[in-house]
Chains A and B, each alone.
Chain A
Amino acid sequence: MTVVIGFEGSANKIGIGIIRDGEVLSNPRRTYITPPGQGFLPRETAKHHRAVILTVLREALDEAGLKPADIDCVAYTKGPGMGAPLLTVALVARTVAQLWGKPLVGVNHCIGHIEMGRLITGANNPTVLYVSGGNTQVIAYSERRYRIFGETIDIAVGNCLDRFARVIKISNDPSPGYNIEQLAKKGKQYIELPYTVKGMDVSFSGILSYIEEMANKMLSSGQCTAEDLCFSLQETLFSMLVEITERAMAHCGSQEVLIVGGVGCNLRLQEMMGIMCEERGAHLFATDERFCIDNGAMIAQAGWEMFRMGQVTELSDSWITQRYRTDEVEVTWRD
């Protein structure tokens, strides 16, 4: 049996999870929540992670009922993400790896999402839609790489949603995306927004500028409600995502879709993707907020795969990196 502990903290979530051969033994997490109208900044986010990380680590061990000696490998997020939070988490991972005499494995955050999604859903070789606050990519596996078929050319879809939430002062608790999703259910009117698919890629910054410009005017004049705006924004953004995912599936001849990343727990996105899959006779795989949203177990799972293939990261090579593309990683654990 191989037991891996995973440390994640590339954005505003800090999570530590323990995996034993595909079984999640523990996966505690904390989220840094900012007041309405405010985003999270690197310094403050790192301070948050710093304040709770040792408590979360204690919880992860206690919930799993394990002692450090039971762990075989320490995995941590090498990147991509915000520098200061990544470093805070990496420091603790490096230190415990040495204290406990365990090997260290640096994990690509995106690969963590994909491997966790595959583990939880049992999807074999899916076309992956990875959607979060920092990333938007359509990915398919080929020849030892997770290849990016389409991606955002500017901001991530979750960033577009988060920043829209700030404009109309939607709460960030538990997350802006969740609150937009709830409001959208009560939307009655579709407001037309720019639709910007460019080949296999998507663009969200123009849509955000457009809605930022018109939102408060339309709300104050009573032309539409906040619920209508949430509904219209979701429908537009998610249609674009479904379109590029479908095109990637057609290209690869794939009959499976896996949605991962924080935006992936949005049920309306899952529903729209499900309709497309049904029309194509394909199968949709998605997970809930425990595993979609950043967590420690996903880093442990990708670390588990890497460690089993004999990959370890020397301490001197364990630097963190804000930029780290999904297709930079050689996937040694798949055929």
Chain B
Amino acid sequence: MASWVGDSIFDNQFELTIEVPFPSQREVSIALQSLSPDHEPRTGGTIKSLSASANALSVKWNAVKARSLRVSVSSFLDHLALVMETMDTFGQPDLQ
């Protein structure tokens, strides 16, 4: 999935896209809105964009350095796991 595009090793650009399936539009929307508000640190040179389809969240990264891409992806997956666990634990209709 990761592709390397660029003219020289001094101008490399990494791009990565992942798709996260969810049971319904509701969960996709909640995950999107929980994970979107915070921006990447400006210094890293990494751009992350989130979008939603009917039953999947898709995340796309553009990064200058593989290292900062790894850091961003890794923390995103941690955050995603926390949001999903929160939905599992506190999103059941019987709690309402």
Contact = CB atoms under 8 A, between A and B. Distances in A.
How large, as a class, is the contact surface on chain A? 20 to 34
A58 B34 CA distance: 20
B39 interface: yes
A235 to B, nearest CB: 41
Interface string A93-114: 0111011100000000000000
A124 interface: no
Contacts of B82: 50, 53, 88, 91-92
29 contacts: A50-B78, A50-B82, A54-B89, A57-B90, A68-B90, A68-B95, A91-B34, A91-B82, A91-B86, A92-B83, A95-B34, A95-B83, A95-B86, A96-B86, A96-B90, A98-B29, A98-B30, A98-B33, A98-B34, A99-B87, A99-B90, A99-B91, A315-B34, A315-B36, A315-B37, A316-B36, A316-B37, A318-B37, A319-B38
Contacts of A69: 96
B86 A92 contact: yes
Interface residues of B, number: 22
Interface of A: 50, 53-54, 57-58, 67-69, 87-88, 90-92, 94-96, 98-100, 315-320
Contacts of A87: 38, 79
Interface of B: 29-31, 33-39, 78-79, 82-83, 85-87, 89-91, 95-96
Nearest to A316: B37
Contacts of B89: 54, 58
A176 to B, nearest CB: 29
Contact of B96 (A88, A98, A100): A100
Contact of B85 (A54, A58, A98, A317): A54
A7 B86 CA distance: 14
B29 to A, nearest CB: 8
